[in-house]
């Protein structure tokens, strides 16, 4: 594939491809690889970053997580000051062939079955169920069974072994820290479920962590999709790309343009192309082609860190995750939380607050999302928080509320796509339940370290520390600390949601953008809700499923037109 990579922006002038894929990340490369199975298909992938092969060892070494932040591989976004703390946050996003797989932690887990099933039953996406998606998630995998030293729980029946993505526990060559087994024992003592494989469709409890004819143009930023508007339905016919407004190039697509630029970039490209809310486009000086709620329903999680100084005999490697239920997360506060979740007036207030702050257009549609979350945690025992214990160089938890009720937005502010002038407001911790859940999960992390076997491996707590949150503090102290010390979890999604149009959807169940022809979106922006999982494995499966639909449409068209298939 390296020989197909070009950096000369002018070399494609006047060219026409069957498909243009915008974005060379997780989903874009997956779709491109699937389309390349048909030798008759001419496709172009355009990636704003580069093919940085010299960084490959660092990318593959998952203990280097975080070192790529702020480098050329990081497409950093800056938020508006957040209401909860008045801080500006920087959102890291992969930039280069490989996308965010270049900079993420390599976690490989799948959502709960009921969460995927709801994409069909609640959001109207026919064909989007766990049973439909699982074969695609398996197809991309080439799973390496765990080494005896890893003791990673593993169910061979739910994994694939012929895909292109190598998946398996990351082996540093070092011994496992005794903290890992101590945490398992704490779980046993508290009667937490001890889960086997976090890809089974039921990610709950404690489990060790598995860390797992195309032309490619790099170094060019796609500014907008080009449309033929002479017919009643606008049709995508290509894209404009470049590095700045005075120097850009157009390239054509005879069949489809496929956006795979991520949850923060794809909505900006659509708005620059004239697809979006009239008020947003008018303010930016862009003529509207189609009215869609682009950039809304943005969902990301907040994250807090509970860090301890380990004892000398705790040295070693390993990660282990606890996917905690509502009762496990909130403890004695669970009855109060349930009362909030079953109070229709409270839910309505939260939904109206999101609408008034620009995260959604329709409170009634948002209430359906809330009710869906509540059904999952109450009736399907789905986790609402994740506590990831890491022993690589420290003894600490990364903690996040998996299912935030808050919603944010991202919009353009200029009609020059190359200025990267945007209004980005994730609205972290803007809803009461989100602050409460994040604080309770953080408190739980300390409580677990205080428990049984884990306590003997801690010398002292470094973060938050007993000065900021004294021992045995109640939830109010944890709320105060959480508001001042959270960071983004970097799991943004939902800004071009796949759901019925009347619910605020942007794409249909085939990932086709409503109101136009020849345009699809295949990235995290189309996921309608957060899930109780890391999203990388899910996104590979989503991309493979949509690619299957694209190939099916291509075959039908080719048969009708008598072209080669």
Question: How would DSSP label each residue in 18-55?
Answer: EEEEE--SHHHHHHHHHHTTSTT--EEEEESS---GGG
Q: What is the pLDDT of residue 211?
A: 37
CA–CA dist 425, 358 (Å, integer): 9
State yes or no: pLDDT of 467 exceeds 70: yes
Q: What is the pLDDT of residue 279?
A: 98
Q: What angle do CA 361, 365, 368 make, to 5 degrees?
A: 150
Higher pLDDT, 393 or 137: 137
Q: What is the pLDDT of residue 481?
A: 99
Q: What is the pLDDT of residue 7?
A: 84
Least confident of 53-62, 174-183, 290-299: 53-62
Question: How many residues are recorded in the chain?
Answer: 565
Q: What is the pLDDT of residue 243?
A: 82
The answer to whether 113 and 201 are in contact (CB under 8 A) is yes
Residue 464: cis peptide before it, omega within 30 degrees of 0: yes
When pLDDT is averaged across residues 434-463 and rounded to a whole number, the result is 96
**563 pLDDT tier (thresholds 50, 70, 90):** low
CA distances 28 to 25, 113, 305, Å, are 5, 25, 32
When pLDDT is averaged across residues 82-108 and rounded to a whole number, the result is 80
Question: Is 304 one of the annotated binding-site residues?
Answer: no
In CATH, which of 3.40.630.30, 3.90.850.10, 3.40.630.40, 3.50.50.60 is domain 5-147+154-170+211-298+493-563?
3.50.50.60
State yes or no: pLDDT of 76 exceeds 80: yes
Average model confidence (pLDDT) across the chain? 89
Neighbours of 198 (CB within 10 A): 27
For the ranges 41-55, 149-163, 202-216, 227-241, the maximum mean pLDDT occurs at 227-241
Residue for token digits 């609408």? 355
Q: What is the pLDDT of residues 54-67, one digit of tens each?
A: 556 665 555 555 56
The b-or-e profile of 202-235 (16+ CB within 10 A means b, else e) is bbbbbbbbbbbebbbbbbbbbbbbbbeeeeeebb
Q: What is the pLDDT of residue 54?
A: 53
In degrees and rounded to multiples of 5, residue 310 shows phi and psi of -80, 160
Q: What is the pLDDT of residues 223-259, one digit of tens each?
A: 999 999 999 999 999 999 998 766 789 999 999 999 9
CA–CA dist 294, 292 (Å, integer): 6
Q: What is the pLDDT of residues 520-533, one digit of tens each?
A: 999 999 999 999 99
State yes or no: pLDDT of 49 exceeds 90: no
- Residue 313's DSSP bridge partners are none
Q: What is the pTM of this model?
A: 0.91
Question: Is 26 one of the annotated binding-site residues?
Answer: yes
Instruction: Write out the two tokens for 37.
Output: 């199975």
Q: Is 547 strand, coil or helix?
A: helix
491 is an active site residue = yes
Q: What is the pLDDT of residue 168?
A: 64
Q: What is the pLDDT of residue 177?
A: 83
Q: What is the pLDDT of residue 90?
A: 94
Q: What is the pLDDT of residue 558?
A: 81
Q: Which of 173, 187, 224 is nearest to 61 (CA)?
A: 173
Percent of residues, the chain, with pLDDT higher than 70: 85
534 is an active site residue = yes
When pLDDT is averaged across residues 411-435 and rounded to a whole number, the result is 98
Higher pLDDT, 141 or 323: 323
Least confident of 195-204, 515-524, 540-549: 195-204
State yes or no: pLDDT of 148 exceeds 60: no
Q: Which of 89, 195, 411, 534 is catalytic?
A: 534
State yes or no: pLDDT of 151 exceeds 60: no
CA–CA dist 182, 212 (Å, integer): 24
When pLDDT is averaged across residues 147-155 and rounded to a whole number, the result is 55
State yes or no: pLDDT of 208 exceeds 90: no
Question: Is 230 one of the annotated binding-site residues?
Answer: no
State yes or no: pLDDT of 209 exceeds 60: no
CA–CA dist 412, 427 (Å, integer): 17
When pLDDT is averaged across residues 420-439 and rounded to a whole number, the result is 98
Domain regions of the chain by residue span: 5-147+154-170+211-298+493-563, 302-403+429-485
Q: What is the pLDDT of residue 210?
A: 46
CA distances 468 to 460, 462, 479, Å, are 14, 10, 12
Q: Which of 159, 248, 376, 491 is catalytic?
A: 491
Q: Which of 320, 348, 341, 367 is nearest to 437 (CA)?
A: 341
Q: What is the pLDDT of residue 284?
A: 99
Q: What is the pLDDT of residue 197?
A: 64
Domain over 302-403+429-485 is classified CATH 3.30.560.10: yes
Q: What is the pLDDT of residue 69?
A: 67
In sequence order, what are the residues at sequence separation of 6 or more whose Cβ sits closer than 8 angstroms to the Cβ of residue 167? 108, 141, 142, 143, 144, 159, 210, 212, 537
State yes or no: pLDDT of 316 exceeds 60: yes
In degrees and rounded to multiples of 5, residue 211 shows phi and psi of -100, 90
């Amino acid at each position: 594939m390296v020989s197909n990579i070009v950096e000369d922006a002018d070399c494609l002038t006047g060219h026409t491809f069957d498909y243009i894929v915008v974005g060379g990340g997780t989903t874009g490369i997956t779709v491109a690889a699937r389309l390349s199975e048909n030798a008759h298909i001419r496709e172009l992938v355009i990636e704003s970053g580069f093919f940085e092969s010299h960084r490959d060892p660092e990318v593959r070494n998952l203990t280097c997580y975080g070192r790529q932040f702020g480098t050329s591989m990081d497409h950093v976004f800056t938020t508006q000051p957040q209401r909860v703390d008045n801080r500006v946050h920087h959102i890291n996003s992969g930039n280069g062939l490989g996308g965010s797989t270049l900079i993420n932690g390599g976690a490989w887990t799948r959502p709960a079955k009921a969460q995927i099933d709801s994409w069909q039953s609640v959001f109207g996406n026919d064909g989007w169920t766990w049973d439909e998606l699982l074969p695609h998630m398996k197809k991309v995998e080439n799973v390496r069974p765990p080494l005896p030293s890893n003791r990673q729980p593993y169910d061979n029946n739910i994994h694939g072994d012929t895909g292109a993505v190598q998946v398996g526990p990351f082996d540093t060559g070092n011994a496992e820290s005794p903290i890992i087994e101590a945490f398992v024992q704490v779980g046993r003592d508290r009667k937490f479920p001890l889960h086997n494989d976090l890809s089974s469709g039921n990610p709950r409890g404690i489990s060790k962590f598995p860390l797992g004819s195309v032309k490619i143009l790099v170094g060019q930023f796609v500014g907008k999709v080009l449309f033929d508007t002479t017919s009643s339905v606008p049709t995508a016919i290509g894209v404009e790309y470049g590095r700045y407004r005075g120097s850009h190039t157009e390239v054509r697509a005879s069949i489809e343009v496929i956006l795979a630029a991520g949850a923060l970039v794809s909505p900006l490209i659509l708005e620059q192309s004239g697809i979006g809310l009239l008020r947003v486009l008018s303010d930016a000086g862009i003529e509207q082609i189609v009215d869609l709620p682009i950039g809304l329903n943005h969902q990301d999680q907040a994250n807090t860190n509970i860090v301890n100084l380990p004892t000398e005999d705790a040295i070693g490697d390993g990660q282990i995750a606890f996917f905690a239920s509502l009762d496990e997360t909130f403890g004695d506060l669970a009855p109060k939380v349930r009362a909030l979740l079953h109070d229709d007036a409270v839910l309505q207030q939260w939904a109206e607050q999101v609408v008034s702050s620009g995260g959604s257009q329709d409170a009634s549609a948002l209430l359906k999302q809330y009710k869906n979350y509540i059904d999952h945690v109450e009736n399907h025992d789905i986790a609402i928080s994740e506590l990831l214990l890491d022993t690589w160089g420290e003894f600490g938890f990364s903690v996040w509320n998996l299912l935030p009720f808050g919603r944010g937005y991202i919009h353009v502010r200029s009609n020059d796509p190359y200025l990267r002038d945007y209004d980005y407001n994730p609205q972290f911790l803007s809803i009461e339940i989100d602050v409460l859940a994040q604080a309770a999960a953080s408190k739980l992390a300390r409580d677990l370290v205080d428990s049984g076997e884990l306590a003997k491996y801690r010398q002292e707590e470094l973060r938050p520390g007993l000065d900021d949150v004294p021992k045995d503090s109640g939830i109010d102290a944890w709320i105060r600390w959480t508001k001042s010390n959270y960071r983004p979890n970097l799991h943004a999604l939902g800004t071009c949601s796949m759901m019925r149009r009347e619910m605020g959807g942007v794409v249909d169940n085939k990932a086709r953008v409503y109101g136009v022809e020849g345009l699809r979106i295949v990235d995290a922006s189309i996921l309608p809700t957060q899930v109780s999982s890391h999203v990388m494995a899910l996104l590979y499966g989503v991309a493979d499923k949509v690619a299957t639909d694209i190939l099916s449409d291509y075959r039908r068209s080719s048969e009708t037109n008598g072209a080669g298939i």
